[in-house]
Homo-oligomer: A and B are copies of this chain.
Amino acid sequence: MTSHPRLTHRIADATLTVTVDGAPFTGREVVVAQRDHRFLFGCTGGDLVPSTGDPNGDDPAVPQDERLASLFLELFNFATLPFYWGWFEPVRGRPETERTLALARWFKERGRLVKGHPLAWHTVTADWLKDLPTDEIAREQVARIKRETTGFAGVVDMWDVVNEVVIMPIFDKYDNGITRLCREMGRIPMVRMLFEAAREGDPSATLLLNDFDMSAAYECLIEGLLEAGVRIDALGLQSHMHQGYWGEEKTLAVIDRFARYGLPIHFTETTIVSGHLMPEDIVDLNDYQIPEWPTTPEGEARQADEIARHYRTLLSHPAVAAATYWGFTDGGWLGAPGGFVRADGTPKPAYDALRSLVKEEWWVPPTTLATDAEGRVRFSGFLGDYEVSAAGRSAVFQLEAAGEVSVAAAL
């Protein structure tokens, strides 16, 4: 199995040459500080905004709880926002564009990459599709994708184009238009159509295929799509662990299997609960409905440990480029205590555990270094954005490749 726990594939050993007005800034102290990670540490961003209960209300959907928002921004450089068609356009022709765009802009203005999830899915899809003939469902789905990818271009730069295609055509829990479309078109022609629509809508966006099925079925789907020439930018792997932490061995084995295709791997949906585990015999997690699922002190300690192990594992594999946690606060999907933050707004030990990795162990804090006779300083740091400052001036630079690199900054 591929695992490099020392994370050397994510660390640059940098020689930074500092100049001022074109001349080497020699024999002086500078302060180097990391500003962002290249790795995408993400989380669902929708729960920063309380539901108004009125999907057509005029409230701009931006975070009101400043403390919650700042906890989020401290930890994450990447936010996934909900684009479930059934919520986004409950009434045909009346999409919820403005509320979602306001929230996306709020993240974008704070330098966060924003992903939309999902553009096509058989669950939480628009109910009104059921009344349409299949060819019209196809036209509506394509139009919807073009509308969102065009309308959010420059704000939402990444999309889960389609969610859970493996089960899509054989999903039998309830009738819906998307399952019918997928069954009639076949998986590959449908995915090709969806990706072409998204690519046309925003040629610069990063487009993902996303699934919870970690079996050979997803491998076979991916292989079929790649053989058919469908261009996929990254593979999304869900990892809802309501029934227990996967552990390092399983996680690395899964990554190895999906890394074979040479595409970046995004862990798109990770949940690790801080309460009791969901019973093992539940197959569809949605079938587990209980009135209350409390967070507990023992559960929170276990969650903190497992989250730290999980992120260490993900970063240890060179193929993983992103990790999105599913549910910043408790009580979201399934009412599970899966958040980094309790229902009362206080952070759990898991929050501190991840923060100590992202902003301490894997982070270059402001560090004073002395330039040599050629204006150079040497330091090692995680790939990402950096700032160097001295004498009241500052400049930004990036560490983009692991190993020995030379970079320059003009103060």
Contacts and interface: CB of A to CB of B under 8 A. Distances in A.
A122 to B, nearest CB: 13
A125 B396 CA distance: 59
Interface string A190-230: 00000000000000000000000101111111011101100
B170 A223 contact: no
A167 B227 contact: no
A188 B219 contact: no
A52 to B, nearest CB: 38
Interface residues of A, number: 24
A166 B223 contact: no
A154 interface: no
Say what secondary structure dominates the interface of chain A: helix
A231 interface: no
B224 A170 contact: no
A167 B216 CA distance: 7
A67 interface: no
Contact of A220 (B189, B221, B260): B221
A170 B216 contact: yes
Contacts of A260: 183
Contacts of A223: 186-188, 221, 224
Contact of A217 (B188, B189, B217, B257): B217
Interface string A254-284: 0001001000000000000000000000000
A271 to B, nearest CB: 23
Given A224-B188, A225-B224, A227-B189, A219 B257 contact: no
A187 B188 CA distance: 16
Nearest to A183: B260
Contacts of A187: 219-220, 223
Contacts of A170: 216, 219, 257
A327 to B, nearest CB: 27
A214 to B, nearest CB: 11
A183 B213 CA distance: 20
Interface in A152-200: 166-167, 169-170, 183, 186-189
A223 to B, nearest CB: 5
Given A183-B260, A260-B183, A228 B224 contact: yes
Nearest to A166: B216
Interface string A97-122: 00000000000000000000000000
Nearest to A213: B216
Interface in A226-245: 227-228
A202 to B, nearest CB: 26
A188 B227 contact: yes
A167, A169, A217, A228 — most chain B CB neighbours (10 Å):
A217
A127 B229 CA distance: 36
Contacts of A183: 260
Nearest to A187: B223
Which among A187, A223, A225 has the greatest number of chain B C-beta atoms within 10 A? A223
A228 B213 CA distance: 23
Contacts of A213: 216
Contacts of A217: 215-217, 219-220
Closest 3 CB pairs of A and B: A224-B224, A217-B217, A220-B220
Given A170-B216, A217-B220, A224-B224, 11 more contacts: A183-B260, A186-B223, A187-B219, A188-B223, A189-B227, A213-B216, A218-B220, A220-B220, A220-B221, A224-B227, A227-B228
